[in-house]
Structure 1
């Protein structure tokens, strides 16, 4: 405590010894104040302690930081394998409404898509495709994740579906078209910054479903992108219910 009071006294006396303009600049310029404190800290310590303190060199600081980084990174090497088999640490316990409303939204979404299937049955086209189930899970359970962004969803759905049509046209039905369609879809999502995992199954679905071949490039908009519009509406309803109807 006595050393702190003595250092403070030396600092105040040094400030009084500065010209008036310097004190004014020091008081009203935050950056200059920080620089001033760094510059005169060692002078104050030297006068209060009676000897010159040893500064830590920049090389030593860099090595210390690198050493700490190496230790931290090496300690994380063994963790990913075990952590992948453990549940993610939850920051809160979900309430009954947090569980019920997304589940009810998924039920309503598939029910509406099923009703649309009855209307489209004469054409042999179905709206209840597997990728829309995955989209429903992403939108209702993790609405703040990057995969749930509207740009990512629609860009990936439309682009990957079109890639599936093109892959079938170039390679015909078979393993080569599926492999090429999936690889091209991954490259497309990376290039457009529109990562949306459910869309990666759109090319494979088109190639393996003979009933969808009649849609040709219309498959880029239907049923994937069209179904996503319905799911976005249901997501907004579920979000409103979760925020306003809690139990």
Structure 2
């Protein structure tokens, strides 16, 4: 038996590891600026403008701006869909454990059905239940925060990185 070595294309993980230092640093700076703006505005105004899933959204928007999962429709739509379904589950299901589980499941299904898959948003139903959030949660922090991340990402990539952001699919 002869042993042959075949060339294999690098895996996605290897491709991520090979991300140039400049891009990695710029992605980190973009995320830092975005979270500082949201957290700073929340601190100054005493309004709820930030939730943990926004950190993960920044990882996609600044670290993988061309990813379909990082596009504005996915960031904003994914957060709105999952927060809505999480709030619905929290409102209708007495058990917090069941509300979280059903909310996450419905949220993922909802994102897939609406073409707005954004993995960080999958955590929103958990945040809803743990915070005992009201329906105002949809406006603040979800809508305001998600739109802010997209706007800051668009401006940042346009001015600083030169990467394409808001890459629309070819039809």
Is the TM-score greater than 0.5? yes
- Normalising by structure 1, we get a TM-score of 0.56
> Which of the pair is proportionally richer in helix?
1
Greater length-normalized contact order (CA 8 Å, ≥ 6 residues apart)? 2
Note the C-alpha offset of 1:183: 0.9
Q: Give the Cα–Cα distance (whole angstroms) in 2 for the partners of residues 194 and 236 of structure 1.
A: 18
Q: Give the Cα–Cα distance (whole angstroms) in 1 for the partners of residues 149 and 86 of structure 2.
A: 22
Q: Give the Cα–Cα distance (whole angstroms) in 1 for the partners of residues 78 and 40 of structure 2.
A: 26
Report what 1:219 is aligned to.
Answer: 137
| Among candidates 61, 76, 98, match of residue 176 of structure 1 | 98
Note the C-alpha offset of 1:95: 4.5
Note the C-alpha offset of 1:137: 0.7
Note the C-alpha offset of 1:91: 9.9
Greater gyration radius:
1
Q: 4+ residue runs of structure 1 moved beyond 4 angstroms? A: 90-93
Report what 2:5 is aligned to.
Answer: none
Say whether residues 1:118 and 2:48 are aligned partners.
no
Are the counterparts in 1 of residues 69 and 119 from structure 2 also a CA contact under 8 Å? yes
Note the C-alpha offset of 1:173: 4.7
Q: Which runs of 5+ in 2 are unaligned?
A: 1-7, 164-171
The 3 A distance-change label for structure 1 pair 218 and 90 is closer
Superposed CA RMSD in Å reads 2.7
Q: How does 1:1-247 map to 2 (within 5 A)?
A: 87-89=13-15, 94-96=20-22, 98-121=23-46, 125-210=47-132, 213=133, 216-239=134-157, 240-243=159-162
Q: Give the Cα–Cα distance (whole angstroms) in 2 for the partners of residues 187 and 200 of structure 1.
A: 10
The 3 A distance-change label for structure 1 pair 90 and 151 is closer
